[in-house]
Every structure is written in C-alpha cells, then in structure tokens.
Amino acid sequence: MMLPPPTLRLGFRTLVILLLNFLVCNNLSAQEPRLVDSLIQLVQTAKDTQRVKYLCELCYELNYQDAKAARPYCEEALSLAERLAYPKGQASALQYLGVNAQGQGNYEQSLAYQERSLALFKTLKDTLAIANLQNNIGIIYDEQGDFKKALDQYFIALSIYETQEKPLSIAQAYNNIGIVYKKQKNFDKVIEYYSKALTIYQDYGHAFGQAVMQGNLGSIFLDQQDYQAAIQYSEVAYQAYDSLQVRQYQPYALGNIGRAYNGLNNPERATDFLQRALDLHEEFGDKRAMAFTQVHLAEAYFALKDYERATILATAARDGAKAIGANDELKEAYLQLASVHQATGNFQQAYDTHLQYTAIKDTLFEVEKTKQIAELQTKYETTQKEQKIAQQSLQIERANYRNKIVLVTAIGVVLALISLGIFAYYFYQNKQKERQRRKEKAYEQQLLVASIEATEFERKRIAADLHDGIGQQLMGLKMGWQQVSDQVLGKAPEVALRLKKLMGILDETTVDVRTISHQMMPKTLSEIGLVAAIESMVDKSFSHTRIQYEMDSFGIKDRLPEATEIGVFRIAQEAVNNILRHAEATEVSIQLYRAKGNLILSIEDDGKGFNPKQLDPKKRGHGLMNMASRAKAIGGSLNFEAGMDGGTILKLKL
C-alpha cells in the first residue's frame, strides 16, 4: 500500500496494495460525513484566504468519499487563491487537484498540477510540503512504471522527513520504497523497508498504518505463492479497514484475496472477491485499480472457460489502461487477451496481441522472451497463409537485426574515427604547446643567464676600474700628500696636523675602495677558487662580530665553471649579509661539498628564522629574488627550511 505523507491536507487518499500500488494521501484516519457538512457551512460564510483554506479542506474530505464531487471545490479554491495573490493557497489547491486527478488515473494531468504546486512551495521554502510533493510525484512515476524516477523522488522525500524528524512520514516513505522494490522482485529490500514501516506504526499505535502493512504482507505472500498466508493477512487488513470505516481501501484487500484464490485454482471463489473489488473501484473512480482487477477477473473466467466474459473484461482492462497510460496493466491485459484468443483458436489475433504485449514489456525494460510467442507462431503456421506471414515476419526481423548491426557498427566506426581525430588533434595541440612552453622556458633561461652574466661583467669592469683606476690614483694622491705633509711639518705645525688628519681620511677611503672592489669581484675567487673565496668572505664578515662560525668543505678539488663559481659565491654572500642584518644569530655553520654528483651549499644559523612563503611580497626585497634567480641561472634549486632548534637552513643544490 503506497502512503503519501500524513501531514499534507491534500485530497484523495487512495491506497494501492503493493502490485496494485495503493495510494493514500495525507491523514490515515476515516472521514466523517458530519465534518463535510460542517465544512460546507463554513465555506458559505468565510471570505478571502479563510475561504480558500475551507475550500481546500472540503476538497480534501470529499476526495476521500467522492472524487468527482470534490473537484469543483478544488478548482474554486485555486481560482480564489489566484485572485487574492495567495501563493500558499494556490500551492495547496494545486496539490489537491493533482491528487484528485491521480486517484482517477489521470497521471499526466496530476503530474502537471503536482509540479506547479512543488514550484510554489519551493518559492515559499516550505520544506515539509516540498517533501510531501516529492513523495506524491514518486507515486505517479511508480504507477506509470518508471521505477527509477519513483525511487529518486521517494528517497528525496525520505531524507527531508528524517531531517524534520517526522516518524509517520518516514514510515510511509519506507512503505512506498518497499512497493517499488517488490515490483522489481527484490524481496530482501521489500521486507527490510516494510519491517521498518511496521515498527514505526506499532510504536505509535497507528491502527490504519498497521492495517496497510498487513495488506502489504499479504501481497508479499501472494508474490511468493503462499496463497493461504496471503488470504489470511489480506482478510485481517479488510476487517481493519471495515472497523475504521475506510471503504475506499477495502477493494484492494478483496482483490488480493481473489488473486490468491486464482493461485489456489479456485476460480469460483476468486470471481466473487474480484467482482466485489471491481464494484468498489468503479464506485470510487479508480481507473487504474479497475484495469488491474479486470485483468485478474478475466483470468478467473478464463480458468472457468467462460471465454466471452474473459474477453470482455480483458478488453475493458486494455482500453482503460491505455487511456490513462498505466503500462503495467496494459501489458497484463494484452497477455490475457492473447491467452483467450489462443484458447478460442484465433491464432492470428493471438499472435498480434502477443506482439503488442511484448512491445509494452520491452518499454518496461523486461527483456525475457516468453515461450507463448513460440507456441502461438507454431499454431499460426498450420496453414499456408499463416506460414507465409510468419516467414515474412522472421525475414523482416532478421533484416531489421542486420540493419541494426550495420547501423551500430557504422556508428561505432564513425565514433571511433571521431574520437581518434579528436585525440590526435588534442595530442598535436598539447605537443605544440609543450614545444612552445619549452622554447619560452629556454628563452627565459637564456635571458636570465645573459642578465646575470652582464651584471657580473659590469661588476668586473667596475672592480677593475676601482682597483686599477681610482685605487691607483688614490695611492698616488696619498704619496703626494705625504710629501706635502713632510715639507710643512717644520714650518707650519698646525697645518701639518690638519694634513695628517686628512691623510687618515685618505687612507680609509683607499681601504674602502679596495674593499668595494674585492666585494664586487673577489680577487680570491678568480685566482684561487670558490672554496677559498667563500672562506675569505665569511671570515671578513663574522670575525669582528659576536657570531660563532665554522666553514667546512670537502670533495671539491678542481675548479668549477666561472659562471657556477660566481653564482654560488653570490648566493653565499647574500645569505651571509641577510644573517648579519636580520637573523639575530649567535652561531652559523657553512658547508660546501660534493655528494652523488651534486654540488651542495648549506648555510645554517640559529637566529629567529622566517618562512619565505608567508613573507609579505612587499617586504620580500631583492635579496631573496636575486638568490633564486642566480640558482635558476646555474641550473640549481634553492630551498629554505626551519632548523631543528629555530633559525634557518639555506640549501643550494646543483
């Protein structure tokens, strides 16, 4: 029995027991005629939005008793809500209309109403109403045989119910999910979800919900061909509906009992229960349930060899199911008609009808071929005309099959060629991009190297100018100054004293020029090599400070390329300057060595340390960028790491 949410006050609460897809909307309690009379009186005096609410309530109550009588109240509620620009009233009225149409088998119309209502409730952000609509839409898809869409809707609704902590709504969602799994013959899942639903109904003492689950269990036993158990549970459900005065749901229990008697080869009793069920379905206007019951009543009369009545009922089921798009019932009606035509010797009609059955079966994703078609074809081929038709059908089928194979193969080849072309195109594009990227990278590397080489060349030139030009001139000036000082020493002692002071300044300037010259291009680097140059630079930098330092080197016996030596020296020089200016270190360890074909420079201090990735780009300065550029230019990698006890470790690897 399929159960939409109990909190929705939305129309026509039909129930469909398992294969019959019981549909129940909203409250699961019996309706009282006195309530309908009271609502009619309230509608006559109410105005505006209050009148909309009473009209919707009246539509809900009447849907349960007389769907045709309920529809005008639903339509009036919608019209008034639209005039009042009352969106919640519009949404509720549309939902009532949808359930009303669904109960009468008008699925497309019902789906249109429900989707319009869902859109409005989403605008209003009414979460529970949205869940109820998803559940109702799932029931429509279920009854149309689209089980995937039905399950999608049910699970969306279930998720919302669980979030909202609505146990009865959760139970109804479990029940509806179980129905879909039952149609797919997944009985383990059916039992799982039915058991969950029954537990909730028992915990809350929900008599109607328990009655529904009794009926559902009856239909489970019906599918498993335990017909006595099916009758037992269905009779319990029927009695419960009777005590609750829920007449509209009684025909589903009666129908299950009738089907069970069909299974027990007792068609006389089956016709009694199935006819009572059909009469009640006609009374309540449930077209889908009518078609379903007509098929099984035709089955009972077929067993009694009353082929005329079986034909009438199966034809009525076929026409009714086709009119409302109920594919499950339409399929079964075709199958029953084919059986009747076969039994009466009308093999042409039997064959044609069975083809229609197979077509419907295929649309519902049922691919198993039945033995009955083969039997019908064999009987049909007893005459020359029938044999010719069968051969033509077989030839057409084979031709269609060959055409399909050719078409599928051609499509596959075309798709493969297109895929290959796309792959080749993108492969070529990626290769071109990679080549361009490599060219750009090589060009950038050339520019970087050229820039650094130009800088070093300029440093050499300036160092030479300072040493050979300005340095020599300062030495000459110093010697001349010394002669002048000696000449005036005895004649003008005061002037000689001033000249001596100026001589001191001149000496300092000469030393500064020599120092700058050596810093720009250390003489040690060009004459002795990298290790000696770094040792000299470190000694000069730290010897007059409180910093304790050590320099170790090993594995470096030969001179390295000039560009490499200059690059490594400049990186070491910049690192030492940074330690002096920023690190606040007390100890520094420098290592330069070869290991596994690599040249490694490691400089470690115990200062305050820093993280170059977190350093503000505006405060990063040129020092770090210059070190990184030089490392890249000589083909190396430069990394900064935090020391074990604080400080920073610089590591250059070539």
Secondary structure of 54-67 in the HEC alphabet?
HHHHHHHHHHHHCH
CB count in 10 Å sphere of residue 406: 10
Q: Do 329 and 281 form a contact (C-beta atoms < 8 A)? A: no
C-alpha span between 349 and 379 (Å, rounded): 12
Question: What tokens were used for 311?
Answer: 């034909």
Question: Tokens 């400070």 — which residue?
Answer: 545
For the segment 148-183, what is each residue's pLDDT rounded down to a tens digit? 999 999 999 999 999 999 999 999 899 999 888 888
According to DSSP, the residues that pair with 650 across neighbouring strands are 603, 640
In the chain, domain spans: 18-271, 286-380, 525-653
549 in helix, strand or coil? strand
**CA–CA gap between residue 15 and residue 251 (Å, rounded):** 10
Within 10 angstroms of residue 649's Cβ, the number of other Cβ atoms is 16
Alpha-carbon distance 179 to 69, whole Å? 30
Q: Which fold has domain 525-653?
A: Heat Shock Protein 90 (3.30.565)
Instruction: Please report which helix (H) or strand (E) contains residue 653, including its range.
Output: strand 648-653
What's the rounded Cα separation, in Å, for the pair 125 and 87?
12
Rounded (10°) CA dihedral 116, 121, 125, 127:
-110
**Three-class secondary structure assignment of 329-374:** HHHHHHHHHHHHHHHCCCHHHHHHHHHHHHHHHHHCCCCCCCHHHH
CA dist 91 to 78, 80, 119, 649, Å?
Answer: 8, 12, 8, 70
Task: Round to whole Å and give the CA distance between 29 and 240.
Answer: 12
3-state SS class at 637: strand
Separation CA 651–CA 245 (nearest Å): 88
Contacts of residue 281, defined as CB under 8 A and 6 or more positions apart, other chains included, come to 251, 289, 290, 293
Q: Which 3-state string (H, E, C) describes 208-260?
A: HHHHHHHHHHHHHHHHCCCHHHHHHHHHHHHHHHHHCCCHHHHHHHHHHHHHH
DSSP 560: P
pLDDT in tens, 404-454: 888 888 898 888 889 888 888 888 888 888 888 887 776 666 666 666 666
pLDDT at 489: 67
DSSP state of 105: T
- The H or E element spanning position 649 is strand 648-653
Q: At 490, is the secondary structure helix, strand, or coil?
A: coil
Tokens of 231: 């009758």
Quote the tokens at residue 637. 């990698």
Residue 137's nearest CA partner among 119, 114, 108, 159 is: 114
Overall CATH class of domain 18-271: mainly alpha
Cross-strand partners of 550: 589
Q: Describe the crossing of helices 250-263 and 207-223 by its angle, rounded to 10 degrees.
A: 20
In this prediction, residue 8 carries a pLDDT of 29
Distances (CA, A) of 543 to 422, 577, 580, 588: 68, 14, 12, 12
Q: Which CATH number fits domain 286-380: 3.40.50.720, 1.25.40.10, 3.30.930.10, 1.10.3720.10?
A: 1.25.40.10
DSSP codes joined into one string, 27-53: --S---HHHHHHHHHHHHH--HHHHHH
Tokens 């589903």 found at: 252
What is the C-alpha separation between 187 and 469, in angstroms, rounded?
102
pLDDT under 70: residue ranges of the chain = 1-34, 64, 364-391, 393-394, 442-461, 463-469, 471-473, 475-476, 489-490, 514-515, 517-521, 612-622
Query: Crossing angle of helices 127-143/147-164, nearest 10°?
Result: 160
Same fold? 286-380, 525-653: no
* Dihedral sign from CA coordinates of 243, 247, 252, 255: positive
pLDDT tens-digit profile of 264-307?
999 999 999 999 999 999 988 888 899 999 999 999 999 999 99
